[in-house]
Amino acid sequence: MIRMRFFIYLILLLPFTSLAQLGGRTGYSFLEVPVAARQAAVGGYNVSIQDRDVAMGYSNPALLNDSVHKTVSFTYQPFFADIKKTTLFGAYKLKEDKGTLSVGLNYFSYGKIDQIDASGNATGAVFSPNEYAVILGYAKSLGPFSMGANLKYVHSSIETYNASAVMVDFGTLYKHPKQQLTVGLTFKNVGFNLNNYVKDQPVNLPFDIQLGATFKPEHMPLRFSLTTHHLYKFDIVYNDPSINVKVNLDGTVTPIETTFSDKLLRHFVIGGELLLTKNIHARFGYNFLMRREMRLQDRSAGAGLSWGFMMRVKKFDIGFTRTYYSIKGGSSFFTLGLNINEWIKK
């Protein structure tokens, strides 16, 4: 009980000990890209779906549970141009009900880039930027609650410039004893820099607070999720000064103010899973922030929308997701999951 109280007090104090910045003003932004097809399909943010998907422990370490024992998840995402992302996660349940451990790797490669000097001339040199995070997770159930933490070593390399940091995610999950309802809360990327790209210029960490719930009605094959993010700051709007303005008759410009409802909705993500059969699930998501930030001035196209599916074929869980960022298209996620126990002959 003392340990549990200490953990709760620590979580409550974390937002006041972290310097938070939003997109475009933080380093290690690759940490905010979904690591698996399921997370991407339900909108990119989810801290409350708990089952045998070990990769969900990246979103909220408290989602690790007994069912992910000896499961492995591998994801490949061809991003844009030569940018590619791969992730690998595995978990193991400790004996005597001492909790569940997980290990993971989140690797981002930006391909080969020609080096250009200050005058815009090619030097003939080529460099390959990359970023990665090594993750060690742990979770333990305490009655209807589960608590967990992810310890991450994060590294970024751009030509001769390098930066690294140590970060921790703290998460908790409440599971209703009678209904299929789960509520999750996560404090993400709390930590400190080990070294920076430029001396005495610290890299801002992508801190976040996320809260969400997942509910499945008793007689419906639908699992519905509602997730909120960036809860430490209400106004997360980026107003582009070249677009979000009104030109007056006298030639002067007036900034277009963002409404209260617009600011509020940007914190929400809606996701769902249609459980067609035991082995086939359809998934969909809507990300309000992505919809507003990635739209063009006159149209949004599919920005913020995502869809996907999961198929269990023999001993494999095959996941695919397509997410849309703008009118120019989006990106695909391919996930392969398996349970090692099912491959071991008894």
| Residue 13 parent element (H or E) | helix 2-13
Tell me, what DSSP letter sits at residue 96? G
How confident is the model over 107-114, as a mean pLDDT? 90
Q: How far apart are CA 256 and CA 244, in angstroms?
A: 5
Asked if the model's pLDDT at residue 234 lies above 60, the reply is yes
Asked if the model's pLDDT at residue 247 lies above 90, the reply is no
- Residue 270's pLDDT band, with cuts at 50, 70 and 90, is very high
Query: In the prediction, which pLDDT does 2 show?
Result: 38
pTM of the model: 0.86
**313 vs 77, 90, 173, 310, 316, CA distance in Å?**
21, 20, 30, 10, 5
Q: How far apart are CA 57 and CA 152, in angstroms?
A: 13
Closest CA to 191 of 204, 209, 200: 204
Please give the structure tokens belonging to residue 121. 């001339």
Q: How far apart are CA 194 and CA 147, in angstroms?
A: 27
* Contacting residues for 202 by C-beta, under 8 A, at least 6 apart: 193, 196
Please give the structure tokens belonging to residue 296. 């063009």
Asked if the model's pLDDT at residue 17 lies above 60, the reply is no
Q: How far apart are CA 35 and CA 136, in angstroms?
A: 15
Rounded to 5°, the CA angle 146-147-153 comes to: 140
Q: How far apart are CA 61 and CA 151, in angstroms?
A: 10
* Contacting residues for 96 by C-beta, under 8 A, at least 6 apart: none
Asked if the model's pLDDT at residue 257 lies above 60, the reply is yes
Query: In the prediction, which pLDDT does 20 show?
Result: 40
Q: Which own/partner pairs from 3-11 qualify as long-range (CB within 8 Å, at least 24 positions apart)?
A: 4/142, 4/147, 7/147, 7/170, 10/170, 11/170, 11/172, 11/185, 11/187
- Residue 9's pLDDT band, with cuts at 50, 70 and 90, is very low
Please give the structure tokens belonging to residue 17. 């000990």
- Most confident listed range (55-64, 92-101, 157-166): 55-64
Max distance between CA atoms of the chain, in angstroms, equals 82
Asked if the model's pLDDT at residue 1 lies above 70, the reply is no
* Domains assigned to the chain: 2-231+267-343 (2.40.160.60)
Of the listed ranges 130-134, 142-146, 223-227, 292-296, the one predicted with least confidence: 292-296
How confident is the model over 81-93, as a mean pLDDT? 93
Q: Tell me the per-residue pLDDT of 172-218, one tens digit each, with 9 for 90 and over.
A: 999 999 999 999 999 999 999 999 998 888 899 999 999 999 999 99
Cα atoms in the 13 Å half-sphere on the side-chain side of 151: 4
Mean pLDDT, all residues of the chain? 87
The SS3 call for residue 270 is: strand
Of the listed ranges 106-120, 139-153, 240-254, the one predicted with least confidence: 240-254
Is pLDDT larger for residue 19 or for residue 257?
Answer: 257
Q: Are 122 and 116 in contact (CB under 8 A)?
A: yes
How confident is the model over 74-80, as a mean pLDDT? 91
How confident is the model over 90-119, as a mean pLDDT? 91
